[in-house]
Amino acid sequence: MSIQMVKLDVCQHNQAGNFFMSSQYWAGDISSSNGWVIAGDVINSWNTAFRADWLALQGNDVVIDYYRARRILPSGSASNLKLEGDFGTAAGLCNSAGLCCDIVAQNDNASNRPAHIYLGGVYEGSVQGDQWVASFLTKVNTLITAFLGGIIVDGQNFNWVAYERKTRTQTPVFAAQVNPKPTLLNKRTLPLI
């Protein structure tokens, strides 16, 4: 058995054609050595465990186009892809092309820098003034609690982790919270055409 870490991208768009991608990292001790298979198992486990909570935060015009996963540690692998097509389940449309919810993930890495998941495609009514509304925060906290519980991949626990690119190390996330103010994505998050 060896520690395997997978980067998972959730790729979405709304009816206006705006593209959102949220990246996260998952790691666990697993016996399989085939990175492509492990990446596919992470997609399937994530989809089963978190899809409903994720879609509840999305405007009803937002579509999960696909999941892309790739093993990062101990060495890279080919990307595994799963096409989806599920729509957000919130009552309203997507709020804004650039508005996102910043989930700040605390961990014990040497740099003491938190990891972030930028959740785009949030629904109208999720923000009042410059603050998230309580009902939206409740839904995000439900997702965070589920993330902290991890997923099961090939019978083993996989945990949400923070990845430090410079040192190529990962550390488990032990707590997370929502940045109280909405965050605007910059143009680097838009797809190149």
pLDDT value, residue 193? 33
Q: pTM of the prediction?
A: 0.90
The pLDDT value recorded for residue 189 is 47
Domain boundaries, the chain: 2-187
- At residue 58's C-alpha, the angle toward residues 124 and 55, to 5°, is 150
Mind listing the pLDDT tens digit of every residue in the chain (193 residues)? 788 999 999 999 998 888 889 999 999 998 877 889 999 999 999 999 999 999 999 999 999 999 999 999 888 788 899 999 999 999 889 977 678 899 999 988 766 788 899 998 999 999 998 899 999 999 999 999 999 999 999 899 999 999 988 888 889 999 999 998 888 876 544 433 3
Task: From residue 140, give the alpha-carbon distance in Å to each of 113, 137, 143, 151.
Answer: 21, 5, 5, 18
Residue 74: C-alpha distances to residues 2, 4, 15, 155, 171 (Å): 8, 6, 39, 19, 14
Residue 18 pLDDT: 86
